[in-house]
Amino acid sequence: MPRQIYSASQAARALGISLDTLRRWDRQGRIQTQRDPANRRLVPASEVERLRGGGRPALSARNHFEGVVRSVKVEGLLAEVELQVTAPVTVVAVITRESVDQLGLRPGAAATAVVKSTSVMVER
């Protein structure tokens, strides 16, 4: 039977984030949690899947660079997203404006640069 609920530490591990980040996301309303009788955070499996991008087809790309969006420049149908992956390295991707809107990209948001062949994609 699949897991229905995760402890906060299990959910953080499944999402590849720190427990502190999970707590911050909870306070910011970015993740929905529940509380047990001892007031510990519990995370529904559906929230873990939502944040993992459940239902999205897996990419065969091997190079994923997590970072922070530094700028988004929208011009017509395209947008240029600058993602700082590790100081001082920055990855710049040109993606559609629609993708920027769908991913909710804005300066300061966490995102991942996916490098495959000569293309750079952005996922969140």
57 assigned to some structural domain: no
- Identify whether residues 46 and 95 lie together within a single domain: no
Q: What is the CATH number of the domain that holds 114?
A: 2.40.50.100
- Identify whether residues 45 and 12 lie together within a single domain: yes
81 assigned to some structural domain: yes
- Choose among 21, 94, 87: nearest CA to 51: 21
The better pLDDT of the pair 9, 15 is held by 9
User: Domain span at residue 86?
Assistant: 63-123
Alpha-helical regions (H) of the chain: 8-15, 19-28, 45-52, 97-103
pLDDT at 90 (0 to 100) = 79
| Structural domain count, the chain | 2
Does the pLDDT of residue 21 top 70, yes or no? Answer: yes
32 assigned to some structural domain: yes
Q: What is the CATH number of the domain that holds 18?
A: 1.10.1660.10
Phi, psi of 66 (to 5 degrees): -80, 145
pLDDT tens digit string along 64-112?
777 888 899 999 999 999 888 775 677 888 899 999 999 999 988 888 8
Rounded CA-CA distance 39/113 in Å is 36
pTM above 0.95, yes or no: no
**CA dihedral sign, ordered 63, 65, 33, 36:** positive
Average pLDDT estimate for 58-66: 65
